[in-house]
Amino acid sequence: MAAVQFSLPLPVLPQDWVGEKDFKAIGQLSSATQRNIEPVGPHFLAHARRVSKLPLINRNIFAATNSDLQQKRHQRTFSEDDRIQAQENVKKVEDDDVGEISEPEDPLMLQRDAKDWKGQDHYAVLGLTKHRYKATETQIKRAHRKKVLRHHPDKKAAAGSSEDDSFFKCIQKATEILLDPVKRRQFDSVDEAADVEPPSKKQAQKGSFFKLWNPVFVAEGRFSKTQPVPRLGDDKSKKEEVEEFYNFWYNFDSWRSFEYQDEDVPDDNENRDQKRHVERKNNNARKKKKTEDTTRLRQLVDDCLAGDERIKRFKKEERAGKDKKRLEKEAAEKKEKEDAQRAAEEKERLRKEAEEASKAEKAEGKKAKEAAKNAVKKNKRVLKSSVKDANYLLPAGQEAGAKRVDQVLNDVEAVMAKIDPEEMAALAGKLGGMKVAEEVAKVWSEEAKRLVEVGKVKEGELKVIGS
Amino acid sequence: MSSQEDGEISSPEITAIGISFGNSNSSIAYTSGEGKAEVIANEEGDRQIPSVLSYIEGEEYHGTQAKSQLVRNSRNTIAYFRDYLGKDFDSIDPTPCHASAHPQKHESTIAFSVQDKESEAQNIVTVSEITTRHIRRLASSASDFLGKSVNAAVITVPTNVTDEQREALSEAAKAAGVDVLQMISEPTAAVLAYDARPEAILKDKIIVVADLGGTRSDMAVVASRGGVYSILSTSHDYETAGVQLDQVLIDHFAKEFIKKNKTDPRENERSLAKLKLEAEATKKALSLGGNASCSVESLADGIDFSSTINRTRYELLAGKVFGAFTRLIEEAVRKADLDILDVDEVILSGGTSHTPKISQNLQRLFPPTTRILSPSTLPTAIDPSSLSARGAAIQASLVQEFEKEDIEQSTHPMVTVTPHLRNAIGVMVVSEDVQKGLFSALIEKETAVPCRRTGLFAVPREGGDVVVKICEGLRDIKVSKKEKPKTNGKPASDDSDLDSDEDEDGDEEIREKVWKIGAVLAEAAVKGVKKGGKVEVTIKVEADLAVQVEAREAGGKGGVRGSLGKARVAENGSAGSG
């Protein structure tokens, strides 16, 4: 073959490209298919020469001796075994001719009258009951051929039996209807043998829901204008899938029609009015049947829905979901209440504690006061006794007169009235244990002086101590 | 053969013709001195010779004359016997013979009981005997035409004949003094008839051969790779053929007759035979003209019938049958694991292919790039009814010089069984999308090995170093929806249930053939290519599936060579599901 021209350019060699001797083997060819090539045409001869190296010698040109040829040929002769071996792996292009009729024929069916073709099961006649509406055109044609091979009246007549061709006519009619897409659809519409009866209540109780209902819907699904039809699914189907399934079936768009069951078929020869009358009658009957069918399907879906555990489960789940929310809400409310209560309790507790604390404080304060009082009394005693022990601030040996005693004690009283307990305590500390009169007097005068300085006592108010 | 074993090569001169032996019609062809196949007309001037033999008082009628005897002498007329040859009685369909002599079981074979001698006695004539007589008549017609005795032939057979059938045909022909050099399948003969025309260009292509005959239709998808043909799939149909079209016309005219005369001509055997012959003629006339008449003298009850029909009416009546033809072709393509877009050519062969509506339907089915080779779509098309005879004649001219044994040996499965490439092999070139590159196939898939293809590739404008990346390509069908201008402006999702049917029809899908890049096989660097130069890439796949690659600058010396190891040959059990 001549070289093919390609106008688009080859890519530029990348900079980092490396290959041994400018060539890099990367992959391998995919496996090949064995096929027969047709031994026809000049190019095949060339191929045969290449492959077999056969001495395809033109005997008019080569004047080789016959023995020469024979010898050459002998070395190259292919045997029957070679043929079998060579053909073994070849991809076949012909279909196997299935000669046998797979389904047994009902003797009653064989006696059918072709005139009653409306009542005949065309699929059964052709031996296609396993396939029915699923049978392909090829399958129908093959089935027909198989039946013809067996039942052709000419064959029977040639074999000497009677020329009864009624079943053959049935076969022809069946094929005529099934190979015509319009007529086939009309027959499929009323092909009750392809229906799967919905399970009865008893069955439904016993058997598995999906096993029982799935074939019913698969069979009903054949009437759907929209394909594929959603499947019933199983226990694990999601809620959306189940919902889609029921939605689909409640909005089922069916191509089913009932022309096939028309009681009267208008004839070309009848008059127009008669024809119209029959047509109207037929149309009404069809409509009625269609409505009935729609109702039947609806009832069927209702029944299925009623028995569908999944729906119950989904409802339960939904309810469980709602309950959960409610419980959560309740729990939240309860918690809030509890929190409030706890808060109140806490408050109460705190309040009580504070009360108690204050009480305790009060008690403490009383004690301290008492103690302070006691301390003040004690200190007063110390102070009083200190002047008494110091001989009323008179030098030793001098007898203090009553007047002096009175004066000193008054002073002391006045000081004690003027100073607060701390100062008194400090003073008592200074005076405590002091016996020497001069020292005591000095402390007192210092105290008097301090008081005057502070402004608590007026100059001269303390007659004895301050002097 | 015995004469050749005497030690001398010189055997009688072989004059070989091509015979297309059909169920309804046969034709004969020879190859002229210039290598052109010509169809031979018989004594009556027919190029389509009905495969019918009739006997009246010991005299044998053949062809058209015999066919006309179907009316008066149907019991002694034998027709449609080709398919019975080499079969047993249980596996034949006697339907086509209903209006002629009926086949019957005779020992292990099939025979007809006819009065073929002058005596009144019924003679049993076996199918092979009838075939012998038929071939003898064909050969004698050819001998008369060529002026020399025809003693060999290449005969075409359907693709689904068994070895027994081949054997029986070979014997029957030999008995008629015709040595069968080779039996070739009908679709390949048709392909060969087109490819042998001088103007034909050798190209790799996928061809669908639709052989639409009188009683059966055979489809074959053929891969033509460098002139080597491989059949990828076949399908056969006995329910969709020429007689079904005749039947449409018969029913039409019968109804018309009933309307006027209240008698159904189909109920009377002779009336039906008359109407059948005339309907066939009307059908043929309708393939050529827009109007055709049908007139039968004394159709039934002594009443003459005459009517006309126009083509539109006919096409309406036969619409279902025409649709079935189209479906057959579609199915054959599907069976070959191909797409409608993969088909490069459709060859319509057989008498029924004259019908314009069938080719028109195919034109609509296939993309515009697919050539439909039929008289009504292509003025240069070869007469479809003579295609296989022409192909056979060409093959006869090719092999008649060879020893018969050599022919047998070279058509042996050891030679014909060959690995075919599963994927295309090609080279990556630069496309508009620089990152991705574009696959350009050099060797198509289903090419028989050994094979070798060369391609000339352009280089970037300024030349320089280029890389040749060789990989496998997988054909993919890209489907994209054509944007339909919305006239009513409503959203598509809205009430989709109601107008879903319309949408399916209205939304036009664009289907395209695209290449997906498969396994990368090798890379080669070609350095220093001149400005404006070209790179020549040769890929050679050996018989053992080893690959050899050669890349060099066109006109330059040396270049890069490399090879890849052998691949595995897959084992195939059976054909795909029917």
For residue range A282-323, list pLDDT tens digits in order: 899 999 999 998 898 888 888 888 878 888 888 888 888 888
Query: Residues 35-64, chain A: which have Cβ within 8 Å of B?
Result: 35-45, 47-52, 54-60, 63-64
- For chain B, say whether A14 makes contact (Cβ under 8 Å): yes
| Rg of chain B in Å (alpha carbons) | 28
Nearest chain B Cα distance for residue A205, angstroms: 36
Q: Which amino acid is at B115?
A: Q
DSSP string covering B3-57, please? GGGGS----PPP-EEEEEE-SSEEEEEEE-TTS-EEEEP-TTS-SSEESEEEEET
- For chain B, say whether A154 makes contact (Cβ under 8 Å): yes
Q: How confident is the model at residue B384 (pLDDT cuts 50, 70, 90)?
A: very high
pLDDT, tens digit, for every residue of A427-453? 777 777 776 777 777 777 787 788 778
- For chain B, say whether A13 makes contact (Cβ under 8 Å): yes
From chain B, pick out residues whose CB is under 8 angstroms from the CB of A72. none
Q: Which residues pair with B224 in a beta bridge?
A: B205, B229
Enumerate long-range contacts of B307-312, CB under 8 Å, 24 or more apart: B307/B253, B307/B256, B309/B249, B309/B252, B309/B253, B309/B282, B311/B286, B311/B356
Nearest chain B Cα distance for residue A54, angstroms: 7
Q: Determine the angle formed by the axes of helices B319-335 and B356-365, rounding to 10 degrees.
A: 50
From chain B, pick out residues whose CB is under 8 angstroms from the CB of A54. 406, 409-410, 415
Give me the residue from A37, A141, A154 closest to B229, CB to CB: A37
- For chain B, say whether A299 makes contact (Cβ under 8 Å): no
pLDDT, tens digit, for every residue of A23-55? 888 888 888 888 888 888 888 888 887 776 554
From chain B, pick out residues whose CB is under 8 angstroms from the CB of A68. none
Q: Tokens 């599963």, residue?
A: B422
Nearest chain B Cα distance for residue A84, angstroms: 8
**C-alpha to C-alpha distance for B117 and B76, rounded to whole angstroms:** 11
Q: Which of A34, A37, A88 to mutate to test the interface with B (most CBs of B within 10 A)?
A: A37
- Pull the structure tokens for residue A87: 């053909």
Tell me the pTM: 0.76
- Look up residue B391 and give its DSSP letter: H
Nearest CA in chain A to B458: A9
| Highest mean pLDDT: which range of A91-100, A267-276, B276-285, B517-526 | B276-285
- Look up residue B555 and give its DSSP letter: T
Give me the residue from B182, B412, B564 closest to A83, CB to CB: B412
Give me the residue from A7, A14, A77 closest to B409, CB to CB: A77
Task: Judge: A40–B456 Cβ closer than 8 Å, yes or no.
Answer: no
Query: Residues 178-237, chain A: which have Cβ within 8 Å of B?
Result: 179-180, 225-226
Q: Which of A12, A13, A17, A29 to mutate to test the interface with B (most CBs of B within 10 A)?
A: A29
Give me the residue from B239, B395, B399 closest to A141, CB to CB: B239
| Rg of chain A in Å (alpha carbons) | 63
Q: How confident is the model at residue A180 (pLDDT cuts 50, 70, 90)?
A: confident
From chain A, pick out residues whose CB is under 8 angstroms from the CB of B472. 27, 29-30
Q: Which of B205, B414, B472 to mutate to test the interface with A (most CBs of A within 10 A)?
A: B414
From chain A, pick out residues whose CB is under 8 angstroms from the CB of B468. 10
| Coil vs helix vs strand at B353 | helix
- Pull the structure tokens for residue B530: 């001149």
Mean pLDDT computed over B217-239: 92
ipTM of this predicted complex? 0.81
Q: How confident is the model at residue B576 (pLDDT cuts 50, 70, 90)?
A: very low
Q: Which residue has the higher pLDDT, B194 or A213?
A: B194
3-state secondary structure chain A: CCCEEEEEECCECCCCCCCECCEEECCCCCCEEEEEECCCCHHHHHHHHHHHCCCCCCCCCCCCCHHHHHHHHHHHCCCHHHHHHHHHCCCCCCCCCCCCCCCCCCHHHHCCCHHHHHHCCHHHHCCCCCCHHHCCHHHHHHHHHHHHHHHCHHHHHHCCCCCCCHHHHHHHHHHHHHHCHHHHHHHHHCCHHHCCCCCCHHHHHHCCHHHHHHHHHHHHHHHECCCCCCCCCCCCCCHHHHHHHHHHHHCCCECCCCHHHCCCCCCCCCCHHHHHHHHHHHHHHHHHHHHHHHHHHHHHHHHHHHHCHHHHHHHHHHHHHHHHHHHHHHHHHHHHHHHHHHHHHHHHHHHHHHHHHHHHHHHHHHHHHHHHHHHHHHHHHHHHHHHHHCHHHCCCCCCCCHHHHHHHHHHHHHHHHHCCHHHHHHHHHHHCCCCCHHHHHHHHHHHHHHHHHHCCCCCCCCCCCCC
Query: Residues 75-114, chain A: which have Cβ within 8 Å of B?
Result: 76-78, 82-83, 86-87, 89-97, 99
What is residue A36's predicted lDDT score, i.e. its pLDDT?
Answer: 87
pLDDT, tens digit, for every residue of A223-259? 888 888 888 877 788 888 888 888 888 888 888 888 8
Give me the residue from B526, B565, B578 closest to A138, CB to CB: B578
Q: Which domains, ranges and CATH numbers included, belong to chain B?
A: 16-183 (3.30.420.40), 242-319 (3.90.640.10), 424-475+514-576 (2.60.34.10)
Nearest CA in chain A to B443: A4
- For chain B, say whether A24 makes contact (Cβ under 8 Å): yes
Rounded to the nearest 10 degrees, how much is the dihedral formed by the CA atoms of A280, A281, A284, A290? -120
**C-alpha to C-alpha distance for B472 and B518, rounded to whole angstroms:** 5
Nearest chain B Cα distance for residue A43, angstroms: 5
Task: Judge: A82–B414 Cβ closer than 8 Å, yes or no.
Answer: yes
Report the half-sphere exposure of A169 (CA within 13 A, side-chain side). 12
Task: Judge: A34–B571 Cβ closer than 8 Å, yes or no.
Answer: yes
Mean residue pLDDT of chain B comes to 86
Give me the residue from A12, A66, A253 closest to B464, CB to CB: A12
- Pull the structure tokens for residue B525: 């660097």
State the count of interchain CB pairs (< 8 A) between A and B.
377
Which candidate, B181, B160, B409, B572, places its Cα nearest to that of A80?
Answer: B409
Q: Is the pLDDT of residue B485 over 70?
A: no
**C-alpha to C-alpha distance for B416 and A36, rounded to whole angstroms:** 5
Q: How confident is the model at residue B4 (pLDDT cuts 50, 70, 90)?
A: very low
Mean pLDDT computed over A196-223: 80
What is residue B507's predicted lDDT score, i.e. its pLDDT?
Answer: 58
Mean pLDDT computed over B121-132: 92
CB-CB contact of B557 with B545 (8 Å) = no
Question: C-alpha distances in angstroms, A285 versus A117, A183, A192, A257, A261?
Answer: 20, 18, 18, 11, 9
